[in-house]
């Protein structure tokens, strides 16, 4: 269960959908996670960017930290993720081929996930007797404009704006299975320096996510994941654009412990249908080390 607690995927502008975000864990446990991630055939492009036929590959090194804390008698988790990425590829701009090669930080994410019901704050010894039933939780993710950004270029690793995403989720254990559902809403500040000094505004994006998770022996588990999100139409210098997002993504996750303190997780996701943007494939491998709380 502990292996699932740290969000460590790299697509900073994509609609991420990590399973077991509200899993309970002993108070005081710390996590550090690192690993590579790769996207191909595209990139989580801003839908306002007038590019077509993207063939962009991204390699990233992800570093994250999380800590389990007590909040209102339930467990909560504070996490920070800061990837560094390398992007290389081509696309069409007004029918003409253009290329881009860049590396740098992507936008950092800070997340507080608080369980509201079913995940009591427990020490390590008490946690050994804990068995999940129904868990209800909520979270707030803040995306900070720390990524590489050049207003004279159409493709960047950062978005040059803040975003705030709220989520409400439920996780139900059924034998060796865990079924999860959640709903999110994300709002954005304006980008006042979008491509040669224009102002870009974006409507909220709403999403629904689902996970079917199967537990195996010795702490291993696997999941099938799906998400649908809609909204996010943009306005450039007061001119509304017809770039509403209505996109489906699916994926799978496998997690296994390597020892008492070390674990490994493999995550894959792909765009199934994309009205605008985010039709790309992604794979990420994450190593995780945990300590504290008497481990």
Residue ranges and CATH numbers for the domains of the chain are 2-291 (2.40.128.130)
The reported pLDDT for the residue numbered 193 is 94
Question: CB pairs under 8 A, 24+ apart, for 93-100?
Answer: 93/50, 93/51, 93/154, 94/50, 98/51, 98/154, 100/56, 100/153, 100/154, 100/155
User: Cβ contacts of residue 180 below 8 Å, gap of 6+?
Assistant: 19, 20, 22, 169, 170, 171, 172, 209, 210, 211, 213
- 46-59 as b/e: b if 16+ CB within 10 A: bbbbebeebebebb
- 153, 164 contact by CB (below 8 A): no
Q: Tell me: the pLDDT tens digits for 28-65?
A: 999 999 999 988 765 555 655 667 777 888 899 989 99
Structure tokens at 229: 């999100």
- 283, 57 contact by CB (below 8 A): no
Q: Tell me: the pLDDT tens digits for 169-215?
A: 999 999 999 999 999 999 999 999 998 889 999 999 999 999 999 99
Phi first, then psi: give them for residue 124, nearest 5 degrees: -60, -45
The C-alpha torsion from 188 through 189 and 194 to 200, rounded to 10°, is 70
Q: Tell me: the pLDDT tens digits for 137-154?
A: 999 999 999 999 999 988
The count of residues in the chain is: 295
Q: Tell me: the pLDDT tens digits for 89-118?
A: 888 877 788 888 999 999 999 999 999 999
- 60, 36 contact by CB (below 8 A): yes
- Full-model pTM: 0.89
**Secondary structure element (H or E) that encloses residue 127, with its range:** helix 124-127
- 64, 71 contact by CB (below 8 A): no
- 111, 71 contact by CB (below 8 A): no
Residue 270 backbone class (left: φ over 0; alpha: ψ -120 to 50; beta: rest): beta
């Amino acid at each position: 269960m502990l292996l699932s607690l740290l969000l460590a995927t790299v697509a900073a502008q994509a609609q991420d959908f990590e399973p077991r975000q509200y899993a309970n864990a002993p108070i005081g446990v710390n996590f550090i996670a690192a690993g590579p991630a790769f996207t191909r055939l595209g990139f989580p492009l801003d839908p306002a960017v007038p590019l077509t036929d993207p063939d962009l590959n991204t390699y990233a090194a992800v570093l994250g930290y999380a800590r389990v804390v007590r909040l209102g008698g339930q467990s909560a988790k504070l996490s920070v993720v800061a990837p560094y990425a390398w992007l290389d590829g081509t696309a069409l701009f007004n029918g003409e081929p253009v290329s881009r090669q860049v590396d740098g930080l992507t936008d950092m994410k800070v997340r507080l996930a608080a369980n509201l019901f079913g995940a009591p704050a427990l020490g390590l010894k008490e946690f050994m007797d804990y068995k999940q039933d129904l868990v209800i939780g909520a979270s707030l993710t803040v995306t900070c404009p720390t990524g590489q950004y050049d207003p004279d270029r159409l493709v960047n690793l950062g978005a040059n704006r803040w975003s705030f995403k709220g989520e409400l989720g439920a996780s139900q254990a059924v034998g060796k299975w865990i079924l999860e559902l959640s709903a999110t809403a994300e709002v954005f500040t304006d980008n006042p320096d979008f491509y040669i000094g224009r102002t870009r505004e974006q409507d909220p994006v709403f999403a629904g996510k689902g996970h079917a998770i199967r537990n195996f022996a010795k702490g291993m588990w696997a999941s099938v994941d799906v998400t649908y999100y809609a909204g996010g139409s943009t306005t450039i210098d007061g001119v509304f654009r017809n770039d509403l997002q209505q996109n489906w993504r699916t994926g799978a996750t496998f997690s296994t412990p390597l020892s008492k303190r070390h674990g490994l997780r493999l995550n894959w996701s792909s765009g199934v249908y994309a009205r605008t943007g985010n039709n790309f494939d992604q794979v990420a491998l994450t190593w995780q080390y945990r300590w504290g709380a008497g481990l």
